[in-house]
Structure 1
């Protein structure tokens, strides 16, 4: 087989011509103007970058595949992509480090709740289901806040242990905090919920709060009840909970290998509440989750949930099960948005980049829902192949620049249709499936 000869060209070609879709979409949202109202770090010299430029460049780096600051450097040589966004140049790795290094706890607290509240105010969605979760981000160095804690995949390694709140209906992140790696699941959770519910989502109606067993504390339950919110929270299997579960004998079979029951009792000197217990028969459901609780009942796994809903047992269990989708959101953030790798020495600098990644994720979620209805659940890696990775270059035509996109004739009407959708979009964005 004969190899093709190699020649080089000075023609400025970008592999991401499809990012012109995101440029138009970002324009339609108006987020650039809102960024200018926030307390973002100011440039240090006339040759420096405006804060809005740095943030938008950071988002663009993530959308095109960067998962570390060093990866963002390659965009500095993509002149066509810079033409698409109307920039003369793009920040370097050191520019990002200096920019995020100017964030502090007080600045993060001032900037991100306001940014998230404004962004979510552009969405028309009612009866939000709020899912609270935490995850573990393993660290290789000795960054501030990285410490040895619960790390199921890499035991004994330093990590951070962030808190995250998701909106189920929009598949977006409502709020996120970075925490040290040795932080307990429920630590700072009440303050996190207060910021999420009373500030960011103050204009939204929350229909249900769901959380895993790490948030099963009297403080958190009492706070949610004080806010008059419905909730389903997984229960830790403390000895008194196990004792109550063991005494149950009125099990109801809802499908082969799955039985449910309920109980009412007080825990941690709290009020009397309703608990839903699910028992799974291991022989029939070998992959079912839950805990092996009793030596004399080795064939069953158990799960338990506390709730203030007055609904049938199987309905409550099914309502909680759909919460598992937030695990997919975390997985995508780690795999496609570089959540684990954009890390700096300073803790608050790392949290600032961490929280800007969440906004980048939300913008992409909004784009794929309204511009790509047939692919509104596609991951970023799929979208890059599907519509962003299009070779393109800019030319001067009639005294103006024109973007030339390499695309076969059969696919051009499809891309024209997406451009038409994007250019006709404007807030508020109504979620008809909410």
Structure 2
């Protein structure tokens, strides 16, 4: 087997020439200009980086594959990428650490709801479905807020336990809070929901709220109804709920091994509400979700949902089941956006980077939906191969810099089409509810 001889060149080539698309897209949506109006940390000196530059560099690091702060240092030596974004240099790992370290609980509350509200005000989408979920982020250390709590995959390890709100129609994150790892499921849920509905989505019409059993409290249910919103929320199987489920006799089969029923029930001091109960036969549905509730009925798993919708039983169950797509969003955030690895010692610094990652995700989601319509569900890993990982270098032509992209002649019209699409995009971005 012949090995090619090795030679070296000083030519400044970037492997991410396709990031020129993202630079133009950021120009189109105007997010830099809005961020400059927020209460971001001030520059420490004239030689310091502009805060908006640091944030944009952080996003660029994530989009090109960084999953830790140390990875961001790689781009400091990519001068062609600097030329694409019009920068002289990029921040180092320590610059990011110092910058996010200036965020406090007060600053996070001032910056992120406003930023997310502005972002969603650039979209035309109504009657959205708001999905609320939580996840576990395992930590390898003793960072502030990391503690032993519910961690099904790595029991006994320290973790954080964030809350996240997703907009189903746009496949975006509406809001996200970081919480300590030993936090109870329902802790801070109402305050999180209030910020999401009243601040972030204040100008967006919400058609349905779906949430897991961590949001099953009388306080939260009453708040959602006071806001005039429809909801489907998974129910905790408290003893009094189990007793009511056990007494159900009328079951309606909707498919092989799955029956549904309903009941009206109220907790002590609570309102009477409608509950949808789903029973799954284990023999026919061995992988079905749900809980084994009764020793004398070992062949069934049960799930229960509370709702104020006046729809058929199977329709409500099917509506709730589509909520599972938010698990795909969480998976992509962890695998492609470094959600689990950008961690600092200070809790609020970690939350700041955590929430900026959400904005990076939303920008990419907006880009792939409107600029790459045939790839609007592709993950970031796929998009890097599809249109971002293009070798490129800059040259001077007619006294100005030009970006040269290495691309087969047959694919050039395709890339020209994407550039033309990006440069024609302007907010508001209209989503179809079809």
Q: How many residues align?
A: 434
Question: What TM-score comes out, normalization by structure 1 length?
Answer: 0.99
What is the CA–CA distance in structure 2 between the aligned matches of 1:255 and 1:414, rounded to whole Å?
46
- State the 1:22 CA deviation: 0.3
- Segments of structure 2 that go 5 or more residues without pairing to the other structure are none
User: Aligned residue for 1:167?
Assistant: 167
What is the CA–CA distance in structure 1 between the aligned matches of 2:244 and 2:433, rounded to whole Å?
39
- State the 1:215 CA deviation: 1.1
Question: What TM-score comes out, normalization by structure 2 length?
Answer: 0.99
User: Aligned residue for 2:143?
Assistant: 143
User: Aligned residue for 1:230?
Assistant: 230
- What does residue range 282-431 of structure 1 map to in structure 2 within 5 Å? 282-431=282-431
What is the CA–CA distance in structure 2 between the aligned matches of 1:67 and 1:223, rounded to whole Å?
38
- State the 1:268 CA deviation: 4.4
Q: SS in structure 2 opposite 1:164?
A: strand
C-alpha deviations, 1:128-147, integer Å up to 9, x for none?
11000000101111111111
User: Aligned residue for 1:86?
Assistant: 86
What is the CA–CA distance in structure 2 between the aligned matches of 1:387 and 1:23, rounded to whole Å?
13
C-alpha deviations, 1:76-131, integer Å up to 9, x for none?
00000010000000000000000000000000000000000000000000101100
What is the CA–CA distance in structure 2 between the aligned matches of 1:433 and 1:411, rounded to whole Å?
33
- State the 1:273 CA deviation: 0.3
The answer to whether the 8 Å contact 1:218/1:268 transfers is no
The answer to whether the 8 Å contact 1:130/1:166 transfers is yes
What is the CA–CA distance in structure 2 between the aligned matches of 1:404 and 1:196, rounded to whole Å?
44
Q: SS in structure 2 opposite 1:140?
A: coil
Deviates more, 1:63-72 or 1:409-418: 409-418
C-alpha deviations, 1:371-415, integer Å up to 9, x for none?
011110000001001110000000111111110111101111111
User: Aligned residue for 2:126?
Assistant: 126
Q: SS in structure 1 opposite 2:253?
A: strand
What is the CA–CA distance in structure 2 between the aligned matches of 1:296 and 1:386, rounded to whole Å?
55
Is 1:216 aligned to 2:216, yes or no? yes
What is the CA–CA distance in structure 2 between the aligned matches of 1:411 and 1:378, rounded to whole Å?
19
User: Aligned residue for 1:71?
Assistant: 71
Is 1:103 aligned to 2:103, yes or no? yes
- State the 1:203 CA deviation: 0.6
What is the CA–CA distance in structure 1 between the aligned matches of 2:284 and 2:299, rounded to whole Å?
10
The answer to whether the 8 Å contact 1:186/1:215 transfers is yes
What is the CA–CA distance in structure 1 between the aligned matches of 2:189 and 2:213, rounded to whole Å?
12
User: Aligned residue for 1:58?
Assistant: 58
- What does residue range 230-269 of structure 1 map to in structure 2 within 5 Å? 230-269=230-269
Q: SS in structure 2 opposite 1:395?
A: strand
Is 1:34 aligned to 2:34, yes or no? yes
What is the CA–CA distance in structure 1 between the aligned matches of 2:288 and 2:263, rounded to whole Å?
22
C-alpha deviations, 1:38-64, integer Å up to 9, x for none?
010111111110000000000000000
Q: SS in structure 2 opposite 1:262?
A: strand
4+ residue stretches of structure 1 with deviation over 3 A?
none
- State the 1:433 CA deviation: 3.5
What is the CA–CA distance in structure 2 between the aligned matches of 1:37 and 1:225, rounded to whole Å?
35
Q: SS in structure 2 opposite 1:305?
A: strand
What is the CA–CA distance in structure 1 between the aligned matches of 2:341 and 2:365, rounded to whole Å?
21
RMSD after superposition: 0.7
Q: SS in structure 2 opposite 1:415?
A: helix
Inter-CA distance 204–259: structure 2 relative to 1 (3 Å threshold): same
Deviates more, 1:260-269 or 1:382-391: 260-269
User: Aligned residue for 1:114?
Assistant: 114
What is the CA–CA distance in structure 1 between the aligned matches of 2:429 and 2:10, rounded to whole Å?
42
The answer to whether the 8 Å contact 1:28/1:425 transfers is yes
- State the 1:269 CA deviation: 2.5
- What does residue range 3-14 of structure 1 map to in structure 2 within 5 Å? 3-14=3-14
